Amino acid sequence: MDLKFFIKKTIKKTIKACAPYGIVILLRSIHDRNQYEKERWMTFGTINDDKIFYIIRRPEPGAGLFSNFHWVLGHIIYALERHYIPVVDMENYRTYFNENTLINGTKNAWEYYFKQPMNYNLDEAYKSKNVILSEMTYFGGKIPHFLEFEEQIEYFHKLILKYLQFNDITVNKIKEAKDNLFGDKKNIIGVKYRGTDYLKKHSKGHSIIAPINDYIDKTKKYFEEWKMDWIYLSTEAKEAVELFQKHFPDKLIVSENERIDNYVTKMGYSSEVGFGRKNDKYLRGLEYIVDTALLSECDAIIGPKVNGTFAALEFNGNKYKHKYIYSLGVN
C-alpha cells in the first residue's frame, strides 16, 4: 500500500472513531507494521517536563495473562534502572482480555486487575513532554527462565508487592474466594496442572507437561510424605478436575471457574477460548488471577515450569514448606 494513502486512510479512521490518544493510534498504525519495533522517544504534550514516562506495550494480542504479567515485570525493572516512570498500556495495545466496553471504569486491560506501577495513568503520560514507547520485545534477561534460587524469588516478590499491586476489586475477589474455599482449612497442597494448549499444541519454547496421571501419582505421594490435609487444584482443564475428584473425593478443594472441556488444537490457545458470558474475557482473566493467588496461599506446591507457577512462587515469597516443580525440558 502507498504510504501517503495509508496515512490518509488511518487519519480518517482515527477521527471517525474518535479514539482516545488518536495520535498514539496513528503512530502505531504507521510504525507497528513491524510489531517488534524498537524503543522510541516521543513528545505528546508540555506537562511533566521534569519526568520521563516509559509506556510498556506488547504486540497484540499479547499472550496468557501471566505471560503478560511477566512481560510487564521485565519492562518495569528496565524502567526503574533508568529512573523512568513505567505506565502500562493495554488499551491502545490490546490483549486477549480486552472488552469493548468499560470494565471497572477503564478500557485498559491492565487496570482491569492491577494498579499502575507508580500511580500515573495513560492520560497523564500521553500529555507529557518526555515519553518513551517501549521496545516490543520480552526482556527475558531481567527475569530468569525459572526462579531457581531463593533470593530470586524473594527479589521478585518485593518488586511485585511494590509495583504490580492488584486493584481493590481484585483484592476483594481474592479474599472472598479464599474465605469461601479455604475457610479454616490448613495444610493445603496446591497443585498447578496446565493442560489444553500446553499439552497438545507443543508450542516451541514452552515447557513439556507431564501426563495427568503422573500428577495424580505425585499428588498421592507428596500428600502422604508431606503430611498434608487438603488439595487445592488450579487448572483450566475440566478433565483434570474430574480426575482429581475421582481420586481425592474428600480432600479436594476446587473453584467453580469455567473450564475448557474436550480441548482440541483448532480452538487456539487457552486464552482465546471463551464461554459466552457477558464480559467473558475479563472474567477469564480474573478467575485465573484468583486461582493463582489462592495457589500462592497454599502450604506446598506441585507444578510445571509455566508462568502461572512462576507467579504463585513470586506471590508466595518463598514461604512454601514444600515444593515439587516438574522439569521435563521444553518443546
| DSSP, residue by residue, 34-83 | STTPPPEEE---SB-TT--EEEE---TT--SHHHHHHHHHHHHHHHHHTT
**Which pLDDT value is given to residue 25?**
43
Q: Is 23 inside any structural domain?
A: no
| Of 177, 160, 181, residue with least CA distance to 288 | 177
119 and 172, same domain (yes or no): no
193-232 per-position pLDDT tens digit = 998 888 777 676 678 889 999 999 999 999 999 999 999 9
Residue 60 lies in domain:
34-141
Q: Would you say 267 and 273 are in contact if contact means Cβ atoms under 8 Å apart? A: yes
**Which pLDDT value is given to residue 27?**
44
**Which pLDDT value is given to residue 4?**
45
**Which pLDDT value is given to residue 207?**
81
209 and 316, same domain (yes or no): yes
Residue/partner pairs of 29-37 with CB below 8 Å, 24 or more apart: 30/6, 32/59, 32/136, 35/59, 35/60, 35/136, 36/135, 36/136, 36/137, 37/135, 37/136
Q: Would you say 26 and 14 are in contact if contact means Cβ atoms under 8 Å apart? A: yes
Q: What is the CA radius of gyration of the chain?
A: 21
218 and 84, same domain (yes or no): no
Q: Is 20 inside any structural domain?
A: no
**Which pLDDT value is given to residue 264?**
86
Q: Is 1 inside any structural domain?
A: no
For residue 59, the tally of other CB atoms under 10 A from its CB is 14
**Which pLDDT value is given to residue 154?**
87
Domain boundary among 141, 156, 177: 141
**Which pLDDT value is given to residue 22?**
43
Per-residue b or e along 2-21, where b marks 16 or more CB atoms closer than 10 Å to that residue's CB: eeeeeeeebbeebeeeebeb
Number of structural domains in the chain: 2
**Which pLDDT value is given to residue 5?**
42
**Which pLDDT value is given to residue 146?**
59
127 and 177, same domain (yes or no): no
171 and 219, same domain (yes or no): yes
Domain boundary among 107, 141, 175: 141
Q: Is 154 inside any structural domain?
A: no
Nine-digit cell string for 179: 474465605
191 and 134, same domain (yes or no): no
Q: Classify 12 as helix, strand or coil.
A: helix
116 and 215, same domain (yes or no): no
Those residues of the chain that have pLDDT short of 50 are 1-35
Q: Is 151 inside any structural domain?
A: no
Distance (Å, whole) CA 318 – CA 325 = 13
- What are the helix (H) ranges across the chain? 3-17, 22-31, 65-81, 109-113, 122-125, 150-163, 168-181, 196-200, 212-225, 238-247, 280-296, 307-316
228-257 per-position pLDDT tens digit = 999 999 999 999 999 999 999 999 999 999
Residue/partner pairs of 254-258 with CB below 8 Å, 24 or more apart: 255/177, 255/181, 255/287, 255/290, 255/291, 255/294, 257/287, 257/291, 258/283, 258/284, 258/287
271 and 137, same domain (yes or no): no
182 and 114, same domain (yes or no): no
What's at 165, amino acid-wise?
Q
126 and 198, same domain (yes or no): no
87 and 221, same domain (yes or no): no
Q: Is 252 inside any structural domain?
A: yes
Q: Is 136 inside any structural domain?
A: yes
224 and 137, same domain (yes or no): no
Domain boundary among 82, 108, 141: 141
Q: Is 39 inside any structural domain?
A: yes
Residue with cell 519492562: 75
